[in-house]
Amino acid sequence: MSEAKITKKELRQVFWRSFALQGAFNYERMQNLGYTYAMIPVIRKLYRNHDEQVSALKRHLEMFNTTPVVAPAIMGISAAMEEQNANDPNFDETSINAVKASLMGPLAGIGDSLFWGTFRVIAAGIGISFAQQGNILGPILFFLLYNIPNFLVKIFGLQFGYQVGVNSLERIQKQGLMDRIMSITTTIGLVVVGGMVATMLNVTTPLKFDINGAKVVIQDILDKILPNMLPLLVTFIIYYLMKKKVSITWLTVGILIAGILLHWVKIL
Amino acid sequence: MLIDALMLGIVAGIGILDGRIFGVMMLERPLVTGLLVGLVLGDVKSGIMIGAQLELIWMGIAGIGASTPPDVVTGGVLGTAFAILSGHGVAVALALAVPIAVLAQSLGVLVRIMNGYFLHKADKYAEDANFRGVTLMMWVPPILFFLSVFLPTFLAILMGAKEVTALINAVPKTILDGLTIAGNLLPAIGFALLLDMLFSKKMVVFFFLGFLAASYLKLDITAIALFGTCLAIIIYVVMNRDEKSSNTQAGPNDFDNLTEGEIDFE
């Protein structure tokens, strides 16, 4: 019997199917059905035997949860391992899921901070700055700036995962490349968030006092000490409250009420 | 109104499917749905501007891990649509979008619970190596997700537009102005969530750098992002090159704080 081999065709199918990863998200095993769906072309190609197909399907129906952007890389590795399994009777089947389980957590952490915490923030920051003037470039730039890295990581992740296999991520880790990319993007992300706090959090006070006929405008004084001091202060108060485990819903409700009350007593 | 309601329902449907079957391309974010709602209702400019403010407010809302976040899709689409229809702008958008998002979240939770049923059916099909069966069970839940936002949006626009507009007009001006103030404050939640995600103590200085560059030098966000990129490359690529040896990665190891902090989304 000739060797079972995955071709470009199956990998392309896996790539497009990987987009539906969360289509059947459930609380029991999360993205498992989406993952299985993406692996079906590989399973069909590699296994002719009924029992092998059943065990492959059941294997990928186990619990799986990660950030969608890194899923193709893990699928590439799974595909490479399934291929090995199909050709080598001594291959340890359980290692396929062991690898999936060991990768999904750390990769989700990297993917979330890179994409959710950084690329999205930079894209949104630039997009919003245009959109606030009603400029259609806003949403368009937002969409492009996020999706170009999104697609690149998905495409190359899948290829890299398949070609280099399990060792690929270890190798990257050893070279410190991942750490460096994370440091670079986190730095850009923080600089942008700092800029956004200054330009997009519009908090000023209309408070004025008359002291012996001299008008004292509080906002002017604050601006002389540190421009945008109030936005910075508000952000840190909220950050502090979050650290104190106040939930987002309560913070939202609290801010809605505080906004109306503070406006009513003419402080904001 | 029927056509508008139908189209807006579809916009919401596309939005919810973004995270489900389109691989998270940001079609669910208010900045994008705002544009689409504006296109449907013939007021693109307002749509984009309201979308921008809602985007800021929900900056930090994330579907990370197993938690189900507030539904920014239904909230965003309905908030933007009612704001345009009533002609009141951002204050209305936010007054409606925030509570709607929290309410609509429960529908998302319901679908995720129902999906358990299809999962078990898929398990059965897997026993027979029935690929078609497994595939089918994979494709039913997206339909449920679609309906979970399409129906509320469609019905709310079709039946509620007049009432909601009347209700909004009855709200005193002080309250609406106060809501605008609150809307200006709300993005702080998103920023705080992002800080929680990005902060590790050695990096705080970069946040202040961006803040000061915008406050004193009046740089816009694009300029800040570009300068930030150069700065990061100088620090981590150019300066690191000199000490190519094994200890180049000093520092970046205390990143365990980078993924989402222990913040309660409920």
**Co-location of B176 and B216 in the same domain:** no
Return the number of other C-beta atoms located less than 10 Å from residue A223's C-beta.
15
| Cβ neighbours of A191 in B, within 8 Å | 206-207, 209-210, 213, 224-225, 227-228, 231
Q: Tell me whether A13 touches chain B (CB under 8 Å).
A: no
Q: Who among A127, A132, A239 is closest to B49 (CB)?
A: A132
Q: Tens digits of per-residue pLDDT, B6-21?
A: 999 999 999 999 999 9
Nearest CA in chain A to B232: A184
pLDDT tens column, B156-171: 999 988 888 888 888 8
- Helix (H, G, I), strand (E, B), or coil: what is residue A26? strand
Of A34, A200, A256, the CB nearest to B187: A200
Residues above pLDDT 70, as percent of chain A: 96
Burial class (CB in 10 A: 0-12, 13-18, 19+), A90: exposed
Residue B194 covered by a domain: no
Q: Could you tell me if A23 lies within 8 Å of chain B, comparing CB atoms?
A: yes
Distance between B108 CA and the closest CA of chain A, angstroms: 10
The DSSP line for A143-166 is: HHHHHHHHHHHHHHHHHHHHHHTT
Alpha-carbon distances, residue B33 vs A129, B19, B51, B232 (angstroms):
17, 14, 7, 33
The answer to whether residue A20 scores a pLDDT higher than 90 is yes
Closest CA to B50 of A235, A195, A128: A128
Q: Are residues B23 and B135 in the same domain?
A: yes
- Give per-residue pLDDT as tens, A220-245: 999 999 999 999 999 999 999 999 98
How far CA A254 is from CA of A248, A259, B54, B106, B159, in Å, comes to 10, 8, 17, 21, 31
Residues B130, B50, single domain; the answer is yes
Distance from CA of A31 to the nearest CA of B (A): 10
Using CB atoms, which residue from B70, B131, B235 is nearest to A187? B235
From B188, which residue of chain A is nearest by alpha-carbon distance? Answer: A235
Q: Among partner residues B25, B56, B265, which is closest to A128 by beta-carbon distance?
A: B56
Q: Work out how many domains chain B is built from and give that number.
A: 2
| List of chain B residues whose C-beta atoms are within 8 Å of the C-beta of residue A202 | 184
- Measured between beta carbons, which residues in chain A are less than 8 angstroms from residue B139? 23
CB contact under 8 A, A194 and B211: yes
pLDDT band at A173 (very low <50, low <70, confident <90, very high): low
* Closest Cβ–Cβ partner in A138, A154, A251 for B48: A138
CB contact under 8 A, B184 and A264: no
Contact A24 B126 (CB under 8 A): no
- Kindly give, in sequence order, each residue whose CB lies less than 8 Å from that of residue B231, ignoring residues fewer than 6 positions away: A187, A191, B206, B209
**For residue B149, what pLDDT band results from cuts at 50, 70 and 90?**
very high
Sole residue written with tokens 């923080």: A190
Mean pLDDT calculated for residue range B141-154? 96
Q: Do B117 and B85 lie in a common domain?
A: yes
3-class secondary structure, A28: coil
Instruction: Look at residue B98 in the predicted model and tell me its pLDDT.
Output: 83
Are B206 and B182 in the same domain? Answer: no
Q: What is the pLDDT of residue A168?
A: 64
pLDDT tens, residue by residue, B22-35: 999 999 999 999 99
Structure-token match 């920014």, residue found: B72
Clarify whether residues B130 and B237 are in a common domain. no
Q: Note down the domain range covering B11.
A: 2-187
Domain boundaries, chain A: 8-198, 203-264
Report the chain B residue with the minimal C-alpha distance to residue A182. B252
Q: How far is B161 from chain A (nearest CA, A)?
A: 23
**In-domain check, residue B117:** yes
Asked if residue B91 and residue B64 are part of one domain, the reply reads: yes
Percent of chain B whose pLDDT exceeds 90: 57
- The predicted pLDDT at position A57 comes to 96
**pLDDT at A122 > cutoff 50:** yes
What six digits make up the tokens of B43? 């007021």
**Domain shared by B212 and B159, yes or no:** no
**What 3-state DSSP class applies to B241?**
helix
Write down the residue that tokens 């199918």 correspond to. A13
Looking at chain B from residue 98 to 157, which residues have their Cβ under 8 Å from any Cβ of chain A?
98, 102, 112-113, 115-116, 118-119, 122-123, 126-129, 131, 134-135, 137-142, 145
Q: Token match 């990581």: residue?
A: A153
- B59 located within any domain: yes
How many interchain CB pairs under 8 A, A with B? 390
Please list every residue in chain A whose beta carbon sits closer than 8 Å to the beta carbon of residue B128.
Answer: 54
Asked if the C-beta of B178 comes within 8 angstroms of chain A's C-beta atoms, the answer is yes
A162: left (phi over 0), alpha (psi -120 to 50) or beta: alpha
B168 Cβ neighbours under 8 A, 6+ residues apart: B82, B86, B88, B92, B95, B176
Q: Which residue has the higher pLDDT, B256 or B243?
A: B243
Asked if pLDDT for residue B66 goes beyond 80, the answer is no
Is B105 within the bounds of a domain? Answer: yes
Residue B261 lies in a domain: no
State the Cα angle at B23 between B21 and B25, rounded to 5°: 115
**pLDDT reported for residue B67:** 56
Last residue of a domain, one of B187, B213, B237: B187
In a domain, B262, yes or no: no
Q: Which of B187, B210, B238 lies at the terminal end of a domain, its last residue?
A: B187
User: Quick one: pLDDT band at residue A31, thresholds 50, 70, 90?
Assistant: very high
Same domain, B174 and B204: no
* Same domain assignment for residues B97 and B224: no
Distance between CA atoms of residues A10 and A4, nearest Å: 12
Asked if residue B93 and residue B217 are part of one domain, the reply reads: no
Does A24 contact B141 at a Cβ distance shorter than 8 Å? yes
Contact of B194 with A117, CB cutoff 8 Å: yes
| Range from A178-182, B95-99, B153-157 that averages highest in pLDDT | B153-157
